[in-house]
Structure 1
Amino acid sequence: MTVGPAPAEQLSGLIFALLLVDPSGAIAEANPAAEVMLGKSRERLAGRPLEEVLQLSDEAIRQRLAASDTQLTARRIGVQLSERRQLINLTVSPLASHPGWRVVTLSDARKDDGSFEDSGRAPAILAHEIKNPLAAIRGAAQLLGKKLGESEMKLTTLIASEVDRIAGLVDRMQSLGSERALELAPCNVHEPIYRARETFTATAPGISLVEEYDPSIPPVMIHADSLVQVVLNLLANARDALRETPEPTVIIRTRFVSGMTVRALRLGRPLRLPVEVRVCDNGPGIDPAISDHVFDPFVSSKADGEGLGLALVKKLVRDMGGRIYHERNEAAGRTDFVINLPLAGKDG
């Protein structure tokens, strides 16, 4: 008869962070996922008060967490983990067999199955309804221009140029709602990055570009042109964020994270995304008022921004089976946009 995994092996295999908290409120045990999420080893976490490790921003949640006999489930709550502010999902389960002891689970609210939600349908429907009257307006302006004098032609030209601008915006909205499947193929992840880098360096003089690549990364299963667009959009956002920054610097980094797994409810199974691409800048960071919604359509901190760039980035990454999120490293004074991608072949 096959012997099943021991309890310790079962805990090690969990893809979410798990902490065992003793009656005094101190951490007694932590699984490997907790070590990764909290950025500290099991030995360094042991004996530390839970409230010190999880600096929760919600006072009500902090009070409930202090009660050792309270069962708790909370989603998308703010927490300070070392120098990083993060949104997490939290559960607290008291152990009836051992009064005062609790099991606490944590997961990153930005990295769960929300990465695969269909967020593009509304823009596509709206785009379809707008394009037909736009074409009629442009045609009417052209006809009117033929009957007017030269001084009035400026007005009809203005109408036509504004219609063209809005039509371009509508086209970008439609791309968010496109359901056409990308043709994925094995690719060296660095090839699309190099292509995006060449365009960026030609349009961002004065910005220092640091490249840190892991040449041993196996091929990934992606759509190469889409990854070029994703990286180029992230680099353009970094460039814009650095306009007022002395000694502006952008970092592109790749690495292999062997244990990286996410929940993919759409696929009904965990998904391994071990290849990581980071685009980092030393700008002031994202406005906290929109930090949790930067990938939503029409959300932008720029005065002239349309709020479609990062929404399209998220869709393209999602369509390649990957995920994207951002985090702020206050200690380093850096904002990171992080992409995780699947491997090609049987290991993907």
Structure 2
Amino acid sequence: MTVNSGEVVDKPSAEAQIGGLIFAMLLIDGESCIAEANHAAESLLGKSAARLLGKPITDVLGDLDQRIKDRFALSDSALVARDIRVLASEAEARVNLTVSPLSNHSGWRVVTLSEISHEENAREADGMATLGAPSILAHEIKNPLSAIRGAAQLVARKLPHQDKKLARMIMDEVDRIARLIDRMQQLGSTKTEPATPCNPHEAIRAAIATVRAGDQTNIIICEEFDPSLPPVMANRDALEQILINLISNARDAASKSEDAPTVTVQTRFVSGFAFRAIRVGRSVRLPIEIKVTDNGGGVDAAMRDHVFEPFVSSKKSGQGLGLALVRKLVRDMNGSISHERDVKKGLTHFRLHLPLSTDVGSAN
């Protein structure tokens, strides 16, 4: 117990402390079988503690490097492994892994798993800050672009009909460059739009309607919603923009599938999920998950770890700003975005996690 302002306050129990951790923690015995699992481990691995207990950890984590398996076989061996892939909810996740022996309990060890996609959110500010200079430069470029477009319009009036298409080409290219610059400025902006309580299903349905309106492929878009979900704290317009981008990308990927091209948008409540939000400098609970899944071929393996970086794109005509902007907008909402490829099922998942409107300001 501790004394706080003259009052005796009970310390949180060890169980409460472990349950409150934002990274996955597993207790394994001398046979490397799981004896305990916290809420974050259940969320990461997609299994309840009851289903994890008694299972060999190497079976649960999937096809690990043989060197890591060998270290698990040494019951008193410590281990630190960075950027490894484990099986999480039947999909791959990149994690940093530690194994810590308990000196007073021979053979027993504590294993922690920290998702790299969430750790990288804590470093995004530095990467996004580097876009500030291009954003300023973009502002200076737009002025001469306007002059070029105006000159092309004047010239077009004096050209013979057969040459007007050249002036039209100049104006179209100027417009294309201006749109690219607008996206660069938005990506480099430090301004955040205000967040308010928002019904996630209304935003999803509006985004799906927008995508369907411009779709000529007739790809199936399935809705699997949890109708009991409470409001999230988000900017409605920004959330729609995020979803339009994710669903459009999923549609484009699914269109190349040899099976029935399908995009699925699913919502669910995920207990125990949290990460450290940059803007508020503290951990924020993110129990609302919106998952966009497609059955396309997936992102090239060499690019999967870089899909949210600026100017990285797998599309021939892509500029690599769409998902970078998605990540920026999600970060502004204190949310998290991650990408997974389920190789066995041939599915690609983008998972968006958002805070409850009632949780904002209450997480520590």
TM-score normalised by length of structure 2? 0.84
Equivalent of residue 327 in structure 1, options 307, 322, 340: 340
Cα RMSD for the two superposed structures: 2.9
Cα separation, partners in 2 of 1:154 and 1:257, compared to 1, 3 Å = same
Gaps of 5+ in 1: none
| Residue identity opposite 1:225 in structure 2 | D
| Residue identity opposite 2:179 in structure 1 | G
Match of 1:223 in 2: 235
- Deviation track 1:140-179 (CA, whole Å, cap 9, x = no partner) reads 7667778977776655543443232222111111110111
Match of 2:78 in 1: 71
96-105 vs 144-153, greater mean Cα deviation: 144-153
Match of 1:243 in 2: 255
Equivalent of residue 27 in structure 1, options 34, 37, 41: 34
Cα separation, partners in 2 of 1:77 and 1:136, compared to 1, 3 Å = farther
Residues 238 and 281 in structure 1, CA contact (< 8 A), matched pair in contact too:
yes
Equivalent of residue 266 in structure 2, options 253, 262, 269: 253
Equivalent of residue 11 in structure 1, options 18, 36, 40: 18
CA drift at 1:67: 4.0
Match of 1:165 in 2: 176
| Residue identity opposite 1:311 in structure 2 | A
Kindly indicate whether residue 134 of structure 2 is the aligned counterpart of residue 126 of structure 1: yes
- Deviation track 1:242-280 (CA, whole Å, cap 9, x = no partner) reads 222231111122222243222235534321112221222
Cα separation, partners in 2 of 1:143 and 1:66, compared to 1, 3 Å = farther
Match of 1:190 in 2: 201
- Deviation track 1:40-81 (CA, whole Å, cap 9, x = no partner) reads 333433333332222355455455454444433333222234
Cα separation, partners in 2 of 1:264 and 1:320, compared to 1, 3 Å = closer
Residues 142 and 156 in structure 1, CA contact (< 8 A), matched pair in contact too:
yes
96-105 vs 223-232, greater mean Cα deviation: 96-105
Cα separation, partners in 2 of 1:182 and 1:29, compared to 1, 3 Å = same
Give the fraction of aligned pairs with identical amino acids, expressed as a percent: 51
Distance 2:135 2:39 in 1: 46
Cα separation, partners in 2 of 1:48 and 1:236, compared to 1, 3 Å = same
Residues 277 and 334 in structure 2, CA contact (< 8 A), matched pair in contact too:
no
Cα separation, partners in 2 of 1:58 and 1:155, compared to 1, 3 Å = farther
Distance 1:281 1:155 in 2: 41
Distance 2:339 2:17 in 1: 30
Distance 1:258 1:102 in 2: 25
**Number of residue pairs matched by the alignment:** 348
Residues 121 and 176 in structure 1, CA contact (< 8 A), matched pair in contact too:
no
- Deviation track 1:101-131 (CA, whole Å, cap 9, x = no partner) reads 3211012211236167224333342243241
Residues 26 and 35 in structure 2, CA contact (< 8 A), matched pair in contact too:
yes
- Deviation track 1:266-312 (CA, whole Å, cap 9, x = no partner) reads 53432111222122212222221111111111111111111111111
CA drift at 1:333: 3.1
Secondary structure at the aligned position of 2:299 is classed as coil
Gaps of 5+ in 2: 1-7
Cα separation, partners in 2 of 1:175 and 1:336, compared to 1, 3 Å = same
Equivalent of residue 51 in structure 1, options 58, 62, 65: 58
Match of 1:180 in 2: 191
Cα separation, partners in 2 of 1:265 and 1:168, compared to 1, 3 Å = closer
Residues 124 and 175 in structure 1, CA contact (< 8 A), matched pair in contact too:
no
Match of 1:313 in 2: 326
Q: List 4+ stretches of structure 1 deviating above 6 A.
A: 142-152
| Residue identity opposite 1:173 in structure 2 | M
Distance 2:269 2:90 in 1: 23
Residues 115 and 318 in structure 1, CA contact (< 8 A), matched pair in contact too:
no
